[in-house]
């Protein structure tokens, strides 16, 4: 004889509410709300009773309902070109640490440096009702347009600006750091200097600073010694192969980021070249991997953590109402870090 189906597994569990917590603690739902928000003073004994009830019942705040009620999600979105690049991992950590104490969380969108993906992610996070956006995409896509509602959302750009009334910017001094790298190499006696640049439209300040330094030192910088990579180790490897195949190959190569510099070092090692005696290599960013390669990489420090932290501070100042004025710009220095490759 068949047994009737059990209803135990088909009954959905009931979500614990503030009202349930209030009943268990013997207080009003308003008191529970005050304990959760921290916006009103609640007696220590009452607070302890409410927190015990929360633990016993396993209550979790309904953030969706809170968002609908307060129009705040307490979330910031950060758009980066490549989440696998360690520079952006450190940057997002700096941002998260800066906003965590204020009760804000972050989530990351990786755009692959493509403008259409950037626009898509932007529209998506705006639809989700984030409280602020951090663009960490290098040169920002000017194609992004803002509707009336978008213009009320604070935005912080890292590396550039957007035409937005609440846009602040945190900018690393790429041009000065690259100029220092070029002057350093020329001062060490290298004459056939070359550069592995970023993709077209990106890293222009780094190229400009290096070019200025080389020319100021009285050296030539022909077009064939200004090649492009794609920010990756593989791209740096391919670009270095092109440089090393020149009839008069360079004796020093400045790379627009550390991953490409590590790829350049791979080629030098494969060719049996001594670094820095046969060819010097300088990177940009100072990611952790710069001290793992052999020799350790001479590079320009791009203060990733500080960039993210400063972006978080700027966003919080607007979200908290402490600041409501025009856009601000914070510039952070990019010093040269001398190690073993140059």
Q: Give the model confidence (pLDDT) of 311-320 as tens digits.
A: 999 999 999 8
The answer to whether the CB of 22 falls within 8 A of the CB of 49 is no
pLDDT value at residue 149:
60
Backbone angles phi, psi at 206, to 5 degrees: -65, -40
pLDDT value at residue 35:
82
Please indicate whether residue 91 or residue 35 has the higher confidence score (pLDDT).
Answer: 91
Closest CA to 285 of 322, 259, 317: 259
Q: What average pLDDT does the structure give for the chain?
A: 87
d(CA 194, CA 338): 18
Tell me: pLDDT of 142 over 60.
no
3-state secondary structure of 118: helix
Query: With the C-alpha atoms ordered 38, 40, 41, 46, is the resulting torsion angle positive or negative?
Result: negative
Closest CA to 235 of 79, 78, 82: 82
Q: Give the model confidence (pLDDT) of 89-127 as tens digits.
A: 999 999 999 999 888 999 898 888 777 888 888 888 887
Tell me the whole-structure pTM to 2 decimals.
0.74
Rg (CA), the chain: 26
pLDDT value at residue 148:
61
d(CA 122, CA 167): 14
Q: What confidence tier does 10 reach under pLDDT thresholds 50, 70, 90?
A: very low
Q: Give the model confidence (pLDDT) of 54-89 as tens digits.
A: 888 888 765 544 544 445 678 999 999 888 888 999
Rounded to 10 degrees, the C-alpha dihedral 75/79/82/86 comes to -50
The answer to whether the CB of 259 falls within 8 A of the CB of 233 is yes
Q: Give the model confidence (pLDDT) of 217-251 as tens digits.
A: 999 999 999 999 999 999 999 999 999 999 999 99
What strands, in cross-sheet order, belong to the sheet with 167-172?
105-110, 75-80, 132-135, 155-158, 167-172, 329-332
Q: Give the model confidence (pLDDT) of 251-288 as tens digits.
A: 999 999 999 999 999 999 999 999 999 999 999 999 99
Please indicate whether residue 93 or residue 3 has the higher confidence score (pLDDT).
Answer: 93
Q: Helices (DSSP H) in the chain: which residue ranges?
A: 18-25, 29-37, 44-57, 63-70, 86-100, 115-127, 174-187, 204-216, 233-244, 258-270, 304-319
User: Among 118-122, 193-197, 280-284, 305-309, whose mean pLDDT is lowest?
Assistant: 118-122
Partnered with residue 332 across adjacent β-strands are 172
Q: What confidence tier does 299 reach under pLDDT thresholds 50, 70, 90?
A: very high
- DSSP3 helix / strand / coil % (the chain, rounded to 5): 40, 15, 40
Residue 128 tokens read as 């989700």
Q: Helices (DSSP H) in 150-192: which residue ranges?
A: 174-187
In whole angstroms, how far apart are CA 84 and each of 44, 63, 253?
Answer: 46, 30, 24
Task: Give the percent of the chain with pLDDT over 70.
Answer: 88
Partnered with residue 169 across adjacent β-strands are 157, 329
pLDDT value at residue 278:
97
């Amino acid at each position: 004889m068949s047994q009737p189906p059990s209803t135990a597994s088909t009954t959905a569990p009931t979500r614990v509410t503030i009202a349930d917590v209030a009943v268990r603690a013997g207080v009003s739902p308003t008191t529970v709300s005050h304990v959760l928000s921290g916006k009103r003073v609640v007696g220590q004994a009452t607070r302890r009773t409410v927190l015990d009830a929360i633990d016993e019942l396993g209550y979790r705040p309904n953030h969706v309902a809170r968002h609908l009620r307060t129009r705040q999600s307490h979330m910031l979105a950060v758009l980066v070109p490549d989440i696998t690049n360690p520079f952006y991992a450190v940057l997002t950590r700096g941002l998260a640490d800066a906003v965590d104490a204020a009760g804000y969380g972050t989530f990351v969108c990786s755009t692959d440096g493509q403008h259409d993906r950037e626009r898509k992610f932007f529209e998506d996070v705006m639809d989700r009702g984030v409280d602020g956006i951090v663009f960490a995409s290098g040169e920002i896509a000017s194609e992004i347009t803002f509707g009336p509602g978008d213009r009320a959302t604070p935005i912080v750009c890292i590396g550039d600006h957007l035409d937005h009334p609440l846009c602040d910017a945190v900018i690393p001094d790429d041009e000065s750091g690259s100029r220092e790298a070029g002057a350093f190499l020329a001062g060490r006696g290298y004459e056939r200097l070359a550069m592995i640049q970023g993709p077209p439209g990106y890293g222009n300040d780094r190229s400009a600073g290096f070019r200025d330094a080389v020319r100021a030192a009285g050296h030539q910088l022909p077009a064939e010694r200004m090649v492009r990579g794609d920010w990756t180790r593989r791209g740096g490897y391919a670009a270095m192969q092109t440089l090393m195949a020149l009839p008069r190959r360079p004796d020093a190569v400045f790379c627009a980021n550390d991953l490409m510099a590590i790829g350049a070092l791979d080629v030098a090692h494969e060719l049996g070249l001594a670094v820095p005696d046969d060819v010097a290599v300088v990177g940009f960013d100072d990611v952790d991997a710069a001290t793992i390669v052999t020799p350790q990489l001479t590079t320009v420090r791009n203060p990733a953590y500080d960039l993210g932290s400063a972006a978080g501070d700027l966003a919080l100042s607007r979200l908290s109402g402490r600041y409501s004025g025009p856009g601000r710009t914070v510039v952070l220095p990019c010093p040269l870090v001398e190690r073993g490759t140059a």
